[in-house]
Amino acid sequence: MHPLSPSEIEPHLLSRRQLLGRLGMGFGSMALGSMLGESSANAAAGSAFGAKRPHFEPRAKRVIHFFMNGGPSQVDTFDPKPELTKFDGKLLPNLLKTERPTGAGFASPFSFKKYGQSGMEISELFSRTANFADDICLIRSMHADVPNHEPSLGL
Please write the tens of the pLDDT for every residue from 40-98: 656 555 666 666 777 888 888 887 777 666 678 888 999 998 888 888 888 877 766 55
**Selection from 147, 141, 85 nearest residue 112 by Cα:** 85
Q: What is the mean pLDDT of the chain?
A: 75
The per-residue pLDDT for 146 is 65
**pLDDT, position 151:** 64
Least confident of 6-20, 71-85, 132-146: 6-20
Whether the predicted pLDDT of 36 surpasses 80: no
User: What pLDDT is stored for residue 127 in this prediction?
Assistant: 92
Q: What is the pLDDT of residue 83?
A: 82
Selected residue with higher pLDDT from 85 and 143: 85
Question: Quick one: three-class SS letters along the chain?
Answer: CCCCCHHHHCCCCCCHHHHHHHHHHHHHHHHHHHHHHHHHHHHHCCCCCCCCCCCCCCCCCCCCCCCCCCCCCHHHCCCCCHHHHHCECCECCCCCCCCCCCCEECCCCCCEEEECCCCEEEEHHHCCHHHHHHHCCCCCCCCCCCCCCHHHHHC
Higher pLDDT, 153 or 115: 115
